[in-house]
Amino acid sequence: MDFQVVVLAGGTSKKLVPLVSKEVPKALLPVANRPVLSYVLEQLELSNIKDLIVVVEGADTALRVGGWISAAYVDRLHVEVATVPEDVGTAGALRAIAHHLTAKDVLVVSGDLVSDVPPGAVTAAHRRHDAVVTAMICSVPVSGLSEAGSSGAKDKTKKPGRYNIIGMDPTKQFLLHIATGAELEKDTRIRKSILRAVGQMDIRADLMDAHMYAFNRSVLQEVLDQKDKFQSLKQDVLPYLVRSQLKSEILINGAPQGQQAKENGNDKVSYRILANASTPSFHELYALGPNGSAPVRRTHKCCVYIASNSKYCVRLNSIQAFMDINRDVIGEANHLSGYNFSAQNNIIHPSAELGSKTTVGPHCMLGEGSQMGDKCSVKRSVIGRHCRIGSNVKVVNSVVMNHVTIGDGCSIQGSVICSNAQLQERVALKDCQVGQGYVVSAGCEYKGESLARKEK
């Protein structure tokens, strides 16, 4: 297999506090009672990719993620867990594990992607065009994710549901323009030179970068080496490659880069690409040898793979997304969960105990060994393992993780209750997040708050 797969599992994302903690890194957040990372790994397994590198930020986290993987996939996948320092960014992470990468192409997948798009399709598109990079693009999810707390002012000025501005050629195969982050708030500037070369560019604001990329390995490494300030694949490396793809009047569609690759081998091509990018470090490159001084006009291809609308493709990168994904995986996109749904369209573990007159509606999940008292009602929610839930409890549109204790008469709406949390009697929560091990005292009512223990 000439493809290596890197799964960027990240660390403890600040956006997801208080859901994540040292004990539960982002990769292990439960989606329908399975760590989110398992969705990516299983998709990869389905595409028959069994050798992969999982990159984790921070040694503690790596230990936990590694432990879980080896337990869950011991005889199924060959996984190498690589540890990188925290906050190096996605580009930094790849830079740190560069020595592991040897194949011609590298598929980089974000560990928080919950999707049923086959990774094989992306790699195939990449190979077909012999592209430098191929990015998977999906439709913006229907429910807005952007309101989630900590990202703050930036999201408010943005119209909800805009993540990228993506320019493609009319055949929707090549990526001609991409704007992310702060650029979205400004007027969009499209380079005329590329438009002249292509003739027509379709600009879409309703698509987003799904954070699954296929890179030409040597090009990627060159870029990472040269641009030591690049931190993020999404915000730095990809836009850079897109920006510098056209250095000549040769149509990208007809660029002969593929042939050159065969003639000259990868390294030379990537040198050329970089030599022609008129980077500040041009002199260093020139010193590298005659290859660096190759003729001025070269192009490289940036491709896209657009996930069809029928596919599910969402990243777990905010609390709202966490809720949405949990709801979808046991609801509309239930084929992803890998469970068998009962006739009532829900999953109740055989070992779960339900009191009298307790109802569990469709699109619900009740984990192993959980107990519920009398006259409870659960709608569109996920309840983890070994939870103890009293009587007269209402759980609607919420996620309750493992080992949670909920007292009598509680009402939980649109909230997330993390593991080992305790809700005493008659607590009413609406749109709240309760952190790990937090105790909500009896009779409290909260709305839209984030409750967590102070970090020691």
Which residues would be at the binding site for another protein (CB under 8 A)?
Answer: 152-154, 159, 162, 165, 167, 170, 180-182, 184-193, 195-206, 227, 229-231, 235-236, 239-240, 243-244, 246-249, 277-280, 296-297
Distance CA 440, CA 18 (A): 14
- Quote the tokens at residue 182: 């702060």
Contact between 325 and 332 (Cβ < 8 Å): no
Minimum CB separation of residue 415 from another protein in Å reads 27
Q: Is the Cβ of residue 210 or residue 354 nearer to another protein in the bound state?
A: 210
Lookup result for tokens 């592991």: 100
Contact between 443 and 426 (Cβ < 8 Å): yes
Neighbours of 323 (CB within 10 A): 23
**Which amino acid would we find at residue 166?**
I
Q: Is the Cβ of residue 99 or residue 229 nearer to another protein in the bound state?
A: 229
Minimum CB separation of residue 277 from another protein in Å reads 7
Q: Is the Cβ of residue 191 or residue 426 nearer to another protein in the bound state?
A: 191
Minimum CB separation of residue 249 from another protein in Å reads 5
Q: Is the Cβ of residue 188 or residue 308 nearer to another protein in the bound state?
A: 188
Minimum CB separation of residue 110 from another protein in Å reads 17
Distance CA 193, CA 146 (A): 34
DSSP state of 274: H
Task: Name, in order, each residue with C-beta under 8 angstroms of 373's C-beta and a sequence gap of 6 or more.
Answer: 355, 358, 389, 390, 391, 392, 393, 408
Lookup result for tokens 């919950």: 114
Minimum CB separation of residue 44 from another protein in Å reads 29
Following DSSP, what letter does each residue of 116-170 receive, concatenated? -S-HHHHHHHHHHHT-SEEEEEEEPPSS--TT-GGGTHHHHHSPTT--EEEEE-T
Following DSSP, what letter does each residue of 370-408 receive, concatenated? -EE-TT-EEES-EE-TT-EE-SS-EEES-EE-TT-EE-T
Q: Is the Cβ of residue 98 or residue 182 nearer to another protein in the bound state?
A: 182
Beta strands 450-451 and 428-430, pairing class = unpaired
- Quote the tokens at residue 97: 């594990």
Minimum CB separation of residue 234 from another protein in Å reads 10
- Quote the tokens at residue 324: 């949405």
- Quote the tokens at residue 370: 């959980």
Q: Is the Cβ of residue 121 or residue 201 nearer to another protein in the bound state?
A: 201
Contact between 217 and 75 (Cβ < 8 Å): no
Minimum CB separation of residue 93 from another protein in Å reads 16
Q: Is the Cβ of residue 26 or residue 227 nearer to another protein in the bound state?
A: 227
Q: Is the Cβ of residue 192 or residue 454 nearer to another protein in the bound state?
A: 192
Minimum CB separation of residue 346 from another protein in Å reads 35
